[in-house]
Structure formats: structure tokens, C-alpha cells
Structure 1
Amino acid sequence: MARFEDGFRQIYGQNIDLSPNSPDGQMVGLLAQMKMDIEELAENVYRQLDPDVATGAWLDQRVAYAGLIRRAASYSYLRSVILTGEPLTHLYAGIVVSDPHKVRWVLTADVQLDSNGSARADFHSED
């Protein structure tokens, strides 16, 4: 953003009002946002060219170039997760929880916490 502000000052002089509420300040903000959006898009395209990072159609392309056949998607599983809570609480299959990385997991079967408030259950990834 400073680069755009400097450019505007070189063109229009040092006294130009580039505060966020001024028309020129709004223009600087728009230009900076557009530049950031284009850079993010370029980075995403670059990363999708890496087969270890590629997803979707990009991964299909990488696989085709390598002469391979892509396997169908499958769920990731968390097995025997220890659950704790209010004793004798019944949890129904399909309950969705998320981990610290914001990955969402689905409970695969009904489970009831024991008298100590504990149970083990399996989860599969939502996507």
C-alpha cells in the first residue's frame, strides 16, 4: 500500500489526502486489494502445479501428465477417540465436531458415555 501511496504522492504532490475516507485513499485501497488478489491467485496457480499440493482438476491434470490413474477419494478416519462428558450422555451418529485445525469430523456410530463420563468412538472426515 505504501508503494501506491508513494506513487500517488509523486504524481499529485506531497499534500494529497490519502486518508482511508478520502476518494484518493479509497483508490489506493482498491488498487492495493486488487494487487493482493492477483498475487494470491498467482501463488495458488503456482502451488497447484506441485502434485503434492494440487487438488481437484489441477490434481487430475498432474496425474494425467504422469500417465497415472487417480484413485477415488476416501474418508480419513480417527479410530478409538476417547470422548468425555456428562455420564450416560447418548451421542448420535452424524454429530460433527472440529479439531484445532478446523477439520470437521463425523461420528460414525451412536455411542453412550459410561457412568464415568467416558467412551471410545470412531470418526471419519466430513469431506
Structure 2
Amino acid sequence: VDAKVEGERAECWWYHWFRQRHIQPGADTSMLVSIESVMVDLQRAGFEVLQLESLTTDAAATAAVWCSRLCASKRQIETELGEDTYRAWELYLNWTQSMYARARLHKHFVLAVKRA
């Protein structure tokens, strides 16, 4: 494995660690898997995939809007929740946009039915 791939894996690991630690402690991260493994698991379980849609572009746009709103409310958030909370969310939302833009984070919609 070359250094670039290792760097990408490390960044993904740190991104998910940061999210788990500072943004969504205790959240279920079991769905943080590749779409390929989801498709294989569905087929093995007897499902037929009817629709697969990438929501990555929409998710990136949503993160950008949320970040803009966060920045617009900076003073209020820092007053009510503290500077550390504001900075964690600012980092998380900017990092999320960057991960989507560089194809290191993806979001999909999958519609599947159980075969008879």
C-alpha cells in the first residue's frame, strides 16, 4: 500500500474518531462501511437492490449550509455553549465538506427488497 493510500486511511480514521469523541459520543457508527460491502451483504442476505443513489453532493451542500449558519451564530453559540464547542463543530463541518469534496466520505441511498 502506498503512502497516499495510507494517508487517506489515516485521515478517515481520525475523522471518525473526532466525530465519535467530540460531535456524537456514543453514536452507532456501524454503518460507516463501504458501499461495496453493503451491496455484498445485501445480496448474501437474499436482497435485490432496486435503486442505488449517491447523496454525496447533497450531503456536501448541506454541510456547507450548516457551517455557514454556524459561523453566522458564532457569538451566540460561544456564549451559550462555549468556545470549545463552537470550534469542534466548525472543524467537524469544514472537515466534512473537505472529505466529501475529496471523495473520502460518501453518502448513499439504497432501496432493496427481499427476494421470494
Fold conserved between structures, TM > 0.5: no
Larger Rg: 1
- TM-score of the two chains, using structure 2 as the length reference: 0.24
Q: Which has the higher helix share?
A: 2
- TM-score of the two chains, using structure 1 as the length reference: 0.22
